[in-house]
Amino acid sequence: MKVNGRASADASQPVRVLLSLDPPDGTTRYVDQIVTHIPGNVQIIYFSWAAALFGHYDVFHVHWPEFLVRADTPVKTRGKRALANALIARLRRRRTAVVRTLHNPSPHEGVAPGEANFIEALDRLTSVYVRLNTSTEPPDDRPCETILHGDYIERFAPLIERRSHARQGVLLSAGLIRPYKGILELIGALAGVRHDLTLRIVGKPVDAAFQGAVEAAAQHNSHVFMHFGFIPDRQLVEEILEAECVVLPYRTIHNSGMLFVALSLGRPVLVPRADTTEALQREVGAQWIQFFDGDIDSGAIDRAVDSFRASKRSDLPHFEGRDWPTVGRRHAEVYALALGAGSHQDAKASAL
């Protein structure tokens, strides 16, 4: 007998979970922390098309599904969509349990029609959704479990050689530099801040054209300093520890790993107001999180800095339910739920 493709006689064996992501690359990724702390009754397999189409796994766990069918040339895109068609057919045929983590309400850069078709077909096969906060609305009425985004306190502790004092007046914006993250608006806002504030921008621009736009915007602004390129974890830790506060000038925000990285290193953060950031402020306190509304401006920056300087903070914020052993255990529970929920797969799941 099989349940969602898993033989009942093998119930004592580890649950084999295929992730839709590459193996670790030495940088800190949300999923890698889950894998490190997953219970022993779960075996994780990292993604390859060979494993997806021919390998043995009990659960397919999808993060950011659009990237499975996205490529940088039309030929590669057609090839990936053909492979995705075959994957949908295999998942449906084998009645494989599918878990999908909902990182954002929709992809930041939008989706092409072929990508949307794939996501819709995958959703029709999904057994359980995972959301990282209670504000995320699932696409349909299938089971949805909330597993809070974990903190990075334990992860970065070995990289902290000394808990240095922040350099007063230094603001930091770090991470992959993309248009939706509002970096151009932040540079514009710096022109109006008081003279004792400077901004460091560190990270890799999404492409050369946008790097040029950032450089042009900051060309005549003496408050802005930039370091472009890949930022190793140790350097990221040093940059954050030297900053008085971290600024995330995003146009919209739902979940942000960088927000948790900064807080986990004991630095307060200025972020856009949203349901998710307001909930996190209630969890850790206003001494750690301040908001701006709409586009970021100099007034919001000055007010946040004044508030952070006037606040008393412990070395680290107090998180609730965000330790990675808890996150790992909850994922194991979701995999068991997906296997036991019965198939939600729709026979009408379409090809791309």
Question: Distances from the Cα of 46 to the Cαs of 36, 59, 262, in angstroms?
Answer: 13, 12, 28
Residue type, 310: A
Please tell me the predicted confidence (pLDDT) of residue 227. Answer: 95
* Alpha-carbon span 253 to 269, nearest angstrom: 13
Element (H, E) at 145: strand 144-146
Tell how strand 2-3 and strand 6-7 pair up.
antiparallel
* Alpha-carbon span 85 to 68, nearest angstrom: 11
* Alpha-carbon span 27 to 314, nearest angstrom: 27
With 70 as the cut, is the pLDDT of residue 347 above it?
no
Confidence category of residue 118, pLDDT binned at 50, 70, 90? very high
Check: CB of residue 205 under 8 Å from CB of residue 213.
no
Which tens digits make up the pLDDT trace of 28-48?
Answer: 677 888 998 999 999 999 999
Q: What angle do CA 61, 67, 69 make, to 5 degrees?
A: 100
Confidence category of residue 350, pLDDT binned at 50, 70, 90? very low
Domains and CATH numbers, the chain: 2-150+323-340 (3.40.50), 153-310 (3.40.50.2000)
Question: Distances from the Cα of 349 to the Cαs of 3, 37, 49, 78, 126, in angstroms?
Answer: 20, 34, 20, 19, 11
Please tell me the predicted confidence (pLDDT) of residue 342. Answer: 52
- How far is Cα of residue 200 from the mean position of the Cα atoms in its chain? 22
CA atoms within 13 A on the CB side of 205: 16
With 50 as the cut, is the pLDDT of residue 179 above it?
yes
Which tens digits make up the pLDDT trace of 254-274?
Answer: 889 999 999 999 999 999 999
* Phi and psi angles of residue 100, each rounded to the nearest 5 degrees, phi first: -125, 125
